Amino acid sequence: MVQFDEYWSIWKESGVDVAPVKSKQKKPSPRISAEQTPHLKSLSDVESWLGECQRCPLCTTRNKIVFGSGNPKARLMFVGEGPGADEDNQGLPFVGRAGQLLSKIIEAMGLTRDEVYIANIVKCRPPSNRLPEEEEIEKCLPFLRAQIAQVKPEVIVALGLTATRVLTQTDTPLANLRGRFQSVAWNPQIELMPTYHPAYLLRNPPAKKFVWEDMKLVKEKFKF
Ligand code: URA
């Protein structure tokens, strides 16, 4: 296994510095709510409930629904924003360039992708990789909530501003939230570590050091 410090030095040497991209996030809708799902007993039940979803306009442009992948009983869960082109083609989360970086982050923590659970705020690709809209998030959130209820992770890492905004139900800037454990808005027992999205790290490699600091805090919590 590559040790974290060794990994960090590889990271440091790997990238070019480019300006961060400004976010156009809107305030979260107060109407975001979960459907009652006591009848769901497993992740497969959640996936069946999602079905060939047509609840929002993303169904008209998607290729494959990207439900989520990994250990159904993971202690650690990662939540991203929404599928990109590679994920839309394969039906799996985080398999493109950002996904490869996420795999490296997970491995640098001493884990494998099979040991954690990975999901997204929206399960279908927004066209041209635009930000998911409020209606799309609202329609999809019950399924993420149901996934979280089944997996029962102790810690969730929110990757990027969209995931952080939805999981905390606040509009607080990511820079003010990362570096300290927060909690999931509807379940204060689940600790939440907001951090930068791997796609942002590809554009802004110097931010990797913050993600590494955040992942060290997560690692310390589990003592694995
Ligand atoms: N970006 C995300 O937020 N999720 C993915 O699955 C892939 C890229």
Q: Of 183, 189, 164, 188, whose CA–CA distance to 174 is shortest?
A: 164
Computed over its alpha carbons, how large is the radius of gyration of the chain? Answer: 16
Cβ–Cβ under 8 Å, residues 153 and 184: no
> Does any ligand 1 atom lie closer than 6 A to the CB of residue 132?
no
Give pLDDT tens digits for 86-100: 999 999 999 999 999
Q: Of 147, 1, 142, whose CA–CA distance to 67 is shortest?
A: 147
State phi, psi for 172 to the nearest 5 degrees: -70, 135
> Does any ligand 1 atom lie closer than 6 A to the CB of residue 68?
no
Mean pLDDT of the chain: 88
pLDDT at 12 over 60: no
pLDDT at 71 over 70: yes
> What's the confidence (pLDDT) of residue 22?
34
> Does any ligand 1 atom lie closer than 6 A to the CB of residue 93?
yes
Structure tokens at 77: 């869960």
Of 67, 78, 87, the residue with max ligand 1 atoms within 8 A of its CB, to mutate for a pocket test, comes to 87
Q: Is the pTM of this model over 0.95?
A: no
Of 64, 92, 94, the residue with max ligand 1 atoms within 8 A of its CB, to mutate for a pocket test, comes to 94
Give pLDDT tens digits for 150-208: 999 999 999 999 999 999 999 999 999 999 999 999 999 999 999 999 999 999 999 99
> Does any ligand 1 atom lie closer than 6 A to the CB of residue 102?
no
> What's the confidence (pLDDT) of residue 17?
25
pLDDT at 9 over 70: no
The CATH number of 40-222, from 3.40.50.1370, 3.90.100.10, 3.40.470.10, 3.40.50.300, is 3.40.470.10
